[in-house]
Amino acid sequence: MSNKNEHPSIKKYHERKILNSDPSTVQKLSAKELKKLCIECGADDVGIVEIDRSALAAEKQAVLAVFPWTKSFVCFVARINRENLRSPARSIASLELHQVEDRLNYTARKVAAMLERKGIRAATPAVGFPMEADKWNSGRMHVISHKLIAAEAGLGKMGLHRNIIHPVFGSFVLLDSVLIDAEVDEYDAPLDYNPCLDCKLCAAACPTGAISPDGFFNPVNCLTHTYRELLGGFSDFVENIASSKSAKDFRSKTSDAETVSMWQSLTGGPCYKSVYCMAVCPAGDDVIPQFIEDKKTFIAEVVKPLQQKEETVYVLPGSDAESHVLHSFPNKKIKHVGNGIRPQTIASFLSSMSFAFQRNQSEGLDAAYHFTFTGNEEHEATIIIRNKTLTIGMGHAGTPDICINADAKAWLRVLHKDSSMIKEIILRRIRVKGPINLLKAFGKCFA
């Protein structure tokens, strides 16, 4: 065909383009119909949010980088079977999570496919994994924060345990979102109350103490244990293999049961060491009756079995998690591990400090630190540790109790345990002006 414009497909395209060029043919999607579609595809509840909502400003740039046509978020939840998640058997709880994740991923893809057939572009980030693993050290592996979207879409509020609590289904939900290239005629608003009962049961059940009754949360201690067979825990496992002199040496570091468990996670889906915070949560209209009618029985049947379970809790040496297990769970065994989290730049070190801060290890410390990093990265920072709180500021401010001047590469070598602080100080790649005991105390605050 000499004239490609006469090709039937191209002719149809131009006809459609003329038809769609009429502004009267461009309409917003019906929120009611869109939600109905999601429910029919397997969602249990749905909310819709516009990308320009001010509360989501921090998400917008990252989302547009992967799907530049995003105009709206369609967020939905799938219910988790409560008794499966409450089981002390980790295989039962983990399998339940995997099954619900698969269901949500299927739902998202089906919704996107249905929209695509209507000429609407859509993208489907994963419920959890896979993520952008090449960005492991960047601080953001996920494409989108489903929790933030869900909260804005009125699907729940963040509880003390840092999970979304749905007003009806409680903590027994997983979340997913679809990015769509369309505006919707009606968007949802956040809930006007928090379903969280502030009962503190999530704090009582957490084996690592990552959840504190006063609202403090330590994500590093949670990640080190719960995600032992994912993310950095797997890196630590591999390094144990690489550093072992023999099979016998490896077995002295890693039990046969741990090796088999890692194999199971690699072949059958990861085993989450703990999601106790979700399992014991009594919030949500469907969940709360059992708690309200007989709190004593609820604690005996739901909370105590998880607290009393004999298990290994994976902790960073010298961390708040270690002292928490020793104090609160004498029936549980402690194992010192690494978690594979190694900042690759000084910028990432500074930005990640708040996540790694072990506030109970800082008790009694009251000091201001001036850091000056030189070499391939130049940064100045003021770090204050006082009253078990951490404050990080860029640049130097106020009067310091101690000044640390460090070559950036040397400091990272110490963090990665490829060198020692003493060695780098002797070689004057790290210089300290002030009481050296304050530097030691600083290190203790970041296990």
Q: Is residue 29 part of a domain?
A: yes
pLDDT band per the 50, 70, 90 thresholds, residue 25: very low
136-164 average pLDDT score: 91
Q: Is residue 255 part of a domain?
A: yes
The reply to whether 318 and 231 lie within a common domain is yes
Identify the pLDDT of residue 231. 81
Q: Does position 247 have pLDDT exceeding 70, yes or no?
A: yes
pTM for the model stands at 0.90
The reply to whether 238 and 324 lie within a common domain is yes
* Residue that is last in its domain, among 336, 354, 371: 336
234-242 average pLDDT score: 92
pLDDT band per the 50, 70, 90 thresholds, residue 2: low
The reply to whether 113 and 137 lie within a common domain is yes
145-167 average pLDDT score: 97
Q: Is residue 402 part of a domain?
A: yes
Identify the pLDDT of residue 342. 87
391-408 average pLDDT score: 97
pLDDT band per the 50, 70, 90 thresholds, residue 19: low
Q: Does position 4 have pLDDT exceeding 80, yes or no?
A: no
The reply to whether 72 and 154 lie within a common domain is yes
Identify the pLDDT of residue 7. 76
Q: Is residue 2 part of a domain?
A: no
The reply to whether 149 and 289 lie within a common domain is no
pLDDT band per the 50, 70, 90 thresholds, residue 339: confident
Q: Is residue 187 part of a domain?
A: no
Q: Is residue 186 part of a domain?
A: no
Q: Domain count of the chain? A: 3
The reply to whether 259 and 330 lie within a common domain is yes
Domain that holds residue 253: 201-336
Identify the pLDDT of residue 15. 64
The reply to whether 126 and 160 lie within a common domain is yes
User: SS3 sequence, the chain?
Assistant: CCCHHHCHHHHHHHHHHHHHCCHHHCCCECHHHHHHHHHHCCCCEEEEEECCCHHHHHHHHHHHHHCCCCCEEEEEEEECCHHHHHCCCHHHHHHHHHHHHHHHHHHHHHHHHHHHHCCCCEECCCCCCCCCHHHCCCCCCCCCCHHHHHHHCCCCEECCCCCEEECCCECCEEEEEEEECCCECCCCCCCCCCCCCCCCHHHHHCCCCCECCCCCECHHHHHHHHCCCCHHHHHHHHHHHHHCCCHHHHHHHCCHHHHHHHHHHHHHCCCCCCCHHHHCCCCCCCCHHHHHHCHHHHHHHHHHHHHCCCCEEEECCCCHHHHHHHHHCCCCEEEECCCCCCCCCHHHHHHHHHHHCCHHHHCCCCEEEEEEEECCCCEEEEEEEECCEEEEEECCCCCCCEEEEEEHHHHHHHHCCCCCHHHHHHCCCEEEECCHHHHHHHHHCCC
Q: Is residue 194 part of a domain?
A: no
The reply to whether 326 and 358 lie within a common domain is no
The reply to whether 71 and 151 lie within a common domain is yes
Give 177-227 pLDDT, tens digit per residue. Answer: 999 999 999 999 999 999 999 999 999 999 999 999 999 999 999 999 999
The reply to whether 61 and 29 lie within a common domain is yes
pLDDT band per the 50, 70, 90 thresholds, residue 383: very high
pLDDT band per the 50, 70, 90 thresholds, residue 137: confident
Identify the pLDDT of residue 437. 95
The reply to whether 168 and 41 lie within a common domain is yes
Q: Mean pLDDT over all residues of the chain?
A: 93
166-175 average pLDDT score: 98
Identify the pLDDT of residue 20. 60
401-417 average pLDDT score: 96
Q: Does position 34 have pLDDT exceeding 90, yes or no?
A: yes
CATH at 152: 3.40.109
> How much of the chain exceeds pLDDT 90, in percent?
85
pLDDT band per the 50, 70, 90 thresholds, residue 376: very high
Give 53-71 pLDDT, tens digit per residue. Answer: 999 998 998 999 999 999 9
pLDDT band per the 50, 70, 90 thresholds, residue 141: confident
* Residue that is last in its domain, among 336, 358, 383: 336
274-302 average pLDDT score: 97
CATH at 396: 3.30.1050.10
The reply to whether 325 and 357 lie within a common domain is no
pLDDT: which is higher, 341 or 313 = 313
* Residue that is last in its domain, among 336, 366, 386: 336
pLDDT: which is higher, 313 or 340 = 313
Q: Is residue 396 part of a domain?
A: yes
